[in-house]
Amino acid sequence: GIKTGFGNEFLRIGGIKMIADGAIAARTAYISEPYIGSDCDHGILAMTQEEIETNVINMHNAGFQVCIHANGDLTIDMVLDSYMKAQKLNPRTDTRHRIEHCSLVNPDILRKMRESNTIATPFCTYVYHHGEKMPFFGEKRLKWMFAQKSFLDYGIISTGATDYPPGPFEPLLGIQSCVTRTDSNGKTWGVEQQISVDEALKIYTLNGAYASFEENIKGSITEGKLADLVILSDDPRTVDPNTIKDIPVERTILGGNTVFEK
């Protein structure tokens, strides 16, 4: 039947997405400690634990990849419990269930993600575009937000995501943001989560392909894979990291055909 993977390289069925809590930009992600400036504001839930479990189990049993929007640490933990319960009830190989955004984590969450082979798809442009909102989370939490370095350290597959249109679709800016953790005003947030350019490039290419079960046809310039690539005017690994976003695209190639040329 129709399930994750149905289609072709241009249009295909991906994972089933559900929304379990609020947003980082709106200060509504469901978090364990109140937002800075409040004694009781923990954000909002969009689904109960029972609703998450029921939907996850149904989609898991139907053979779908499940991709749940969960920003806050409390919500992420609820989703992970549901993924692990579904897998225990009906063991499947290579589910690649994901947590969309996966914004605020902690060591316990990271261990659960590793144990359950859950993929993280954090925003990579939010640090740059939403720096003015970061003070609501505080320095303590920012060390664990958009945690690409921690995902790498724990052996968790993570990708580069935008949440377009809330986060503009700008892959070079996303790579820059992973490397510098600097906002549009030049302030750095959560320096502990900085990663190298090479690590960010892999997150945006091979890891992204893996997260959609497409690593055999895309994600690297390799013989036998789709000839989908861009040619940049400079090397992201050698320019000033704060200028990666400004590197011009000289050519875009799709299926071996040039579809854009500067």
The torsion angles phi and psi of 58, rounded to 5 degrees, stand at -65, -45
Q: Are 218 and 209 in contact (CB under 8 A)?
A: yes
**Token pair 């379990």 in the structure block, residue:** 20
Q: Give which of 117, 21, 38, 126 is closest to 72, Cα–Cα.
A: 21
Whats the size of the chain, residue-wise?
262
pLDDT of residue 168: 76
Number of structural domains (the chain) is 1
**Does pTM surpass 0.85?**
yes
* pLDDT digits 0-9 by tens, 198-207: 999 999 999 9
Q: Is residue 38 assigned to a domain? A: yes
Q: Are 177 and 204 in contact (CB under 8 A)?
A: no
Q: Is residue 230 assigned to a domain? A: no
Q: Give which of 42, 71, 43, 70 is closest to 55, Cα–Cα.
A: 70
* pLDDT digits 0-9 by tens, 37-51: 999 999 999 999 999
Give the distance, in angstroms, between the CA of residue 94 and the centroid of all CA atoms in the same chain.
18
Q: Is residue 256 assigned to a domain? A: no
pLDDT of residue 155: 98
Q: Is residue 188 assigned to a domain? A: yes
Q: Is residue 146 assigned to a domain? A: yes
For the chain, how far is it from start to end, CA to CA, in angstroms?
43
> Which residue(s) pair with 69 in the sheet?
19, 100
Q: Is residue 243 assigned to a domain? A: no
pLDDT of residue 204: 97
Give the CATH number of the domain where residue 97 resides: 3.20.20.140
| Encoded tokens for 147 | 């945690």
Q: Are 19 and 13 in contact (CB under 8 A)?
A: no
Nearest 10 degrees: CA dihedral of 244, 245, 251, 255?
Answer: 100
Q: How far apart are CA 146 and CA 124, in angstroms?
A: 7
Low-confidence ranges of the chain (pLDDT < 50): none
Q: Give the domain extent around 114.
A: 16-222
Q: Are 104 and 76 in contact (CB under 8 A)?
A: yes
Q: Is residue 213 assigned to a domain? A: yes
Q: Is residue 235 assigned to a domain? A: no
* pLDDT digits 0-9 by tens, 7-17: 998 999 999 99
